[in-house]
Amino acid sequence: MTTAAPARPGAGSAPRTPARATARSRRGDTARGTALTVLTWAIGLVFVSPVLWLVLTAFKQEADAATSPPTLLFQPTLDRFQAVLDAGFLPYLGNSVIATLVSTALVLVLGVPAAYALSIRPVKRTQDALFFFISTKMLPVVAVVVPLYVAAAEIAMLDNVWTLVVLYTAMNLPIAVWMLRSFFLEVPKGVIEAAQMEGANLVRVLWSVMLPIMAPGVAATALICMIFSWNEFFFAVNLTAAQAATVPVFMVGFITSEGLFLAQLSAAATLASLPIVIVGWIAQRQLVRGLSMGAVK
């Protein structure tokens, strides 16, 4: 009768050692991924918490909004939102929408050809032109408000929303040219050369080749210009009055030295932020793709 040889210690476990190491490594990667996800959510909540508290305060009564320590349990109400609408919020909203959308459209109409020329067909003084564009952003706004006020008064354009359109266009055009030029430079040269070999002229290359490729970059530029225009306050408060005032000017009216205003101001801020947040939410995919193209690296 033949007996089986005794198994050597560790002979059966040696082949399983790499598998155990791999499983242990995977568990470690999973734990690190989970910890990183929790940390990311925690940091995100820290940054978003002021906005969440703003929205929460908008649903409070003024007495609950002014308590210290803050009141966490309360009866939600829409009275503050109704008070904001009754105070004439919609005309201010309309002025902001007109100034923001029209100025952003003009920025793209003027900025796309300028950035295209400075990136595809640069000249000897291209860097000087780019520096001139960006240098206009270095001038303090308060230094030009008096000449602008006098000029607007001379041509009867004070308290006119189209004055804000022109100023917002001039304000956003330099940064738009810089961003769009960076997006143009990201387009492979081979694509442009192939289109030119097919007989496409400069306008056709721009419209049919370049813009479809860099559409996310254009969307990112447009959204940033919209945010700058929507939040602009200094020009609006100094050059407008009753007819052309925008949402930021409207919100200042809720800050008074008498009575409680925190809940109503929070409701106004929530309504003022809602349009641009909705636009950003809709365009978030294009925005992320556009910013990843190198415009703000």
Highest mean pLDDT among 14-28, 138-152, 185-199, 252-266: 138-152
How confident is the model over 180-201, as a mean pLDDT? 79
Rounded to whole angstroms, how far apart are CA atoms 186 and 163?
35
Tokens of 248: 């930021």
pLDDT at 245 over 70: yes
Residue type, 166: V
**DSSP letters for 143-163:** GTHHHHHHHHHHTT-TT-HHH
**DSSP letters for 25-77:** HHHHHHHHHHHHHHHHHHHHHHHHHHHHHHHHHHTS-HHHHT-SSPP-S----
How confident is the model over 19-23, as a mean pLDDT? 67
Domain boundaries, the chain: 88-295
| Dihedral sign (CA 249, 276, 144, 155) | negative
Query: pLDDT digit string (tens) for 206-235?
Result: 787 788 888 888 888 898 899 999 999 999
Query: pLDDT digit string (tens) for 128-152?
Result: 777 877 887 788 888 888 999 999 9
Whether domain 88-295 has CATH 3.40.50.2300: the reply is no
pLDDT at 297 over 60: no
Q: What is the pLDDT of residue 137?
A: 78
